[in-house]
Structure 1
């Protein structure tokens, strides 16, 4: 059997903790079971950073990503992407924004060509990218653009034995209630169920659909959204053959016995999904993009500019993202291969 290609890891914001956690993940590769990867970054930047945080990581510049597997055990493989401006940890420079975007472009192209098993993205600083001309709300939307996806991808947070999908994401709570629709819930349910089978090997996915209101609205006494919006979505998913249950009161969905009854939770707004995941796996949660033609994961945290370059950044979430990406990619190949 041919060995799987390595993971492609993007640099993220150079002034953030992306470089710190990449270096620490490679240093922990044996004890943490980190799968082979290469990082698309500036070797000079990483070498200076390794010296600054006192982690003795040898680097090996690659001509092609296929060289990564042979050198991974003894050196961190780097696919060179020079940065035009010097990097000062904690101080983002828009002059490097185009290189950050180019790293994402390169990783996606390699994944689509089968030369990388999956894409693992380090955190970006969106304000800096906007200043450099970036015209997408964030990573997820840009990845969908690069993939030419006809349908909107779905964000999943995973960790601590829980997979949670927010139907509405980065909007205010008021806006989340205003924009929640039956069609939106159904779309997230379809994409999630398909991804659970294709990427996680779940033969018959079970979805738990959270109610929007306390006590699932108490029959309309606490709001009719669960009767008029959520319940019809659950019925539509079930009519399509998807094992969906709900609307379920969110305050009883996330204890251990409840989690054993489903494979993923559909949540109606951002914090309803992220609070339980971060409670269970604050240091090791993973952000997964579902519905793309390639596997993409990322750490479930931001650029942490305040601790960049100090050596204090914890690589646990990045390591979890790498391990999950490799497992998802292998499952996708296995599910797609006729027996």
Structure 2
């Protein structure tokens, strides 16, 4: 292993979607090899399928172990992990075998990280329904990572678009459940979590804008108590911890403040409050980072895109940015 660079694992994602194709495109980009050593884990037959779809033939070094691997610039190492053959792949359709393959390779990659054979990893898009049908007991990959890395209380997901970072207090829950989860402790923990992720990335003095929950930031409590009783006190708690956070700002104008360059990040109260804005600003460039873990983990914001699977049209910009972010985070975590 080249110890001057982090080693980043790469997972193929759901074989029924665009995952194998965008990984084939990713490894053809020279900038990733400047950032890190590259280890792909997955079924080699599916990988070759992705290369054919992409019309690319980047050479790889196939190995059956990851001890003392001789990395070469511009040539990834491929660990063949048989899961699903190209003949079993159903392009554009939910496939339980593809979902099980994703879960199996997730587990293997986490084991590599815990054994310190990799410093982080990126994964191509997968399909939650396929994973559930394939036997996964987890609500999301974040729940899996929290369990395996023993970090049960981290908020976890951070969205990155260019220089804008966002996270949220609540994530994959129904809108009717959100208000009960907006507590001082939850909001403060999320603000401090976002500050920590930014500092790990190398931003020395992060400035955070915190969103309100209620329209017009509650108008002094006229429309609801959350801003006065939970969000504003949580911001003050975070400030006492040394975090530069301001708000709560109305959710419909908070991203206008970001456009002016006043803040590095937005802390939203629920999923769509932040995700709609960032995806409108640049869906193909968006990245999701799983922060607060001992290794760097990132994935593109795009989904498995069954509607264009197998057509060679998939944009690799998101997975490339995910790789570069993971490489930078891994280098700092490793230092």
1:28 aligns with 2:29: yes
SS of corresponding position for 1:152: coil
**Residues 136-167 of structure 1, C-alpha deviation per residue, up to 9 Å, x if partnerless?**
11111111111111423421101132101111
1:205 is displaced (CA, Å) by 2.8
The TM-score with structure 1 as length reference comes to 0.89
99, 102, 110: which one aligns with 2:101: 99
Corresponding residue number in structure 1 for 2:308 = 307
Q: 2:32–2:324: 8 Å Cα contact kept in structure 1?
A: no
What are the within-5 Å matches in structure 2 for residues 34-113 of structure 1?
Answer: 35-65=36-66, 70-71=71-72, 73-74=74-75, 76-85=76-85, 86-113=88-115
Aligned residues: 332
Corresponding residue number in structure 2 for 1:337 = none
Corresponding residue number in structure 2 for 1:179 = 181
Q: 2:290–2:296: 8 Å Cα contact kept in structure 1?
A: yes
Corresponding residue number in structure 2 for 1:225 = 226
The TM-score with structure 2 as length reference comes to 0.90
1:325 is displaced (CA, Å) by 0.4
Give the 3 Å change call, closer, same or farther, for CA 152–257 of structure 1 in structure 2: closer
Q: Distance in 2 between matches of 1:214 and 1:196?
A: 28
**Residues 58-109 of structure 1, C-alpha deviation per residue, up to 9 Å, x if partnerless?**
34322234676624514x4321111245213223432343332121112122
SS of corresponding position for 1:123: coil
Q: Distance in 2 between matches of 1:213 and 1:69?
A: 55
Q: 1:4–1:117: 8 Å Cα contact kept in structure 2?
A: no
SS of corresponding position for 1:2: coil
SS of corresponding position for 1:281: helix
Deviates more, 1:323-332 or 1:246-255: 246-255
Deviates more, 1:181-190 or 1:315-324: 181-190
148, 151, 154: which one aligns with 1:149: 151
Give unmatched runs, 5+ long, in structure 1.
Answer: 335-339
CA-atom RMSD, angstroms?
2.3
Q: Distance in 2 between matches of 1:89 and 1:333?
A: 38
Q: 1:123–1:302: 8 Å Cα contact kept in structure 2?
A: yes
Deviates more, 1:140-149 or 1:51-60: 51-60
114, 133, 136: which one aligns with 1:134: 136
Corresponding residue number in structure 1 for 2:249 = 248
Q: Distance in 2 between matches of 1:284 and 1:117?
A: 23
SS of corresponding position for 1:250: coil
Deviates more, 1:140-149 or 1:205-214: 205-214
Q: 1:237–1:244: 8 Å Cα contact kept in structure 2?
A: yes
Q: 1:81–1:99: 8 Å Cα contact kept in structure 2?
A: no
Q: 2:96–2:131: 8 Å Cα contact kept in structure 1?
A: yes
Q: Distance in 1 between matches of 2:330 and 2:3?
A: 14
1:321 aligns with 2:331: no
Q: 1:210–1:246: 8 Å Cα contact kept in structure 2?
A: yes
Give unmatched runs, 5+ long, in structure 2.
Answer: none
Q: Distance in 2 between matches of 1:30 and 1:247?
A: 39
Deviates more, 1:239-248 or 1:249-258: 249-258
**Residues 270-318 of structure 1, C-alpha deviation per residue, up to 9 Å, x if partnerless?**
1221122223322111101111111111110111112111101111000
Give the 3 Å change call, closer, same or farther, for CA 203–173 of structure 1 in structure 2: same
Q: 2:295–2:333: 8 Å Cα contact kept in structure 1?
A: no
SS of corresponding position for 2:109: helix
What are the within-5 Å matches in structure 2 for residues 202-241 of structure 1?
Answer: 202-241=203-242
1:262 is displaced (CA, Å) by 2.3
SS of corresponding position for 1:251: coil
**Residues 11-32 of structure 1, C-alpha deviation per residue, up to 9 Å, x if partnerless?**
2211111101000111233599
1:293 aligns with 2:298: no
SS of corresponding position for 1:324: helix
